[in-house]
Amino acid sequence: MNKRKRNWITILALLIISTYNINAHNNTTMKKTGNLEVATLAGGCYWCMDAPFEKTPGVIKVISGFAGGHIKNPTYQEVATGKTGAVEAVQITFNPTVISFSEILNIFWRQFNPTDAGGSFYDRGSQYKSVIFYHNKTQKDLAELSKTKLELSGKFSKPIVTKIEKFTTFYPASSDQQHYYKKNPIHYDQYRKASGRDQYIQKVWENDAKTYKKPKQEILKKKLTPLQYQVTQNNATERPFKNDYWNNKQEGIYVDVVTGEPLFSSNDKFDSDCGWPSFTRPLNPGELIKKEDSSFGMHRVEVRSKIGNSHLGHVFDDGPGPDHLRYCINSASVKFIPVQDMKKEGYGAYLYLFKGKKKGNAN
């Protein structure tokens, strides 16, 4: 059995295991609205790891500090020697109803080089290695699944060396080390650029993608159907079971009908019996905006596209996946790109999602 086939078997097994664990462990909080969760992640210099999460909807608090090790409450100087066993890390408190642990991990992977075993960019030493510290069995399974999928994506020519370890301890750094990007923005920007982190992220994650822009309103009115315009621009909702994609079973991706930015994959689509296309997760959480919606006397979380600011639908906490999220999306907000057309339409970078799968329906 070749390595790629083993990895796909691993993904299937982890999905089954993680779903079981969520149902079996009553102390997990992924489906309980209002309960908060904690993620502890290390990706090199914590100055560069807190900013991306603090700007993310659903994240309540981010603390920079030191995880693991054998010294109680170590100082920055002690950790910097590389002899404490601790690593620079961030501890993220988040609302799983708004952003799931899997989505947190998707953001995490895009902040550093996961193939570097000797440190992170020009910060060298074990204190700068990358680690996912799991707080429970569910987080462990989701972390392993996320890592395996990244390995299969073909993004990296070298093995991914990021460790997945059980959480033990976390000690906050001193106050002058917290939220450095806010307190010292000029030095922070200079540090990121000089370290090579920004250039690396640009090369790996952004240069292989198209540039998406929102057309002007007069162009949109000509480009979109009246329903598409009302849904995306005026927050309307289409009729259930009377839309293009609620029962679509083809393989492919769903993109913003306004800008073309990729949003969802058929791999994550499921039949929710609600009459609208439903997904367990987005392709990239960073391309979505989530906001509280109290319209019509209901308390919901609205989902919008980041670049186009298109109204897409809402996200609920009653989904079947490991994170229990259900992205209920209007068909009028998206355009479906079948897998056979993805390359010619400019979405070849996403074909890895369908490698190793047997041909057939998406769900």
Catalytic residues: 45, 328
The Cα 67–Cα 85 span in angstroms is 9
Per the structure block, which two tokens stand in for 9? 């078997």
Using alpha carbons, select from 220, 290, 313 the residue that is nearest to residue 259: 220
Per the structure block, which two tokens stand in for 140? 């462990």
∠324-274-289 over CA atoms, to 5°? 55
Length of the chain: 363
Using alpha carbons, select from 176, 228, 142 the residue that is nearest to residue 65: 176
Q: 3-class DSSP state for residue 282?
A: coil
State CA 183 to chain mean position distance.
27
The Cα 335–Cα 75 span in angstroms is 52
* Helix then strand then coil, % of the chain, to nearest 5: 35, 25, 40
Give the CA diameter of the chain: 64
Rg (CA), the chain: 21
Q: What is the DSSP letter of 357?
A: P
Q: Is residue 286 within 8 Å of 106, Cβ to Cβ?
A: yes
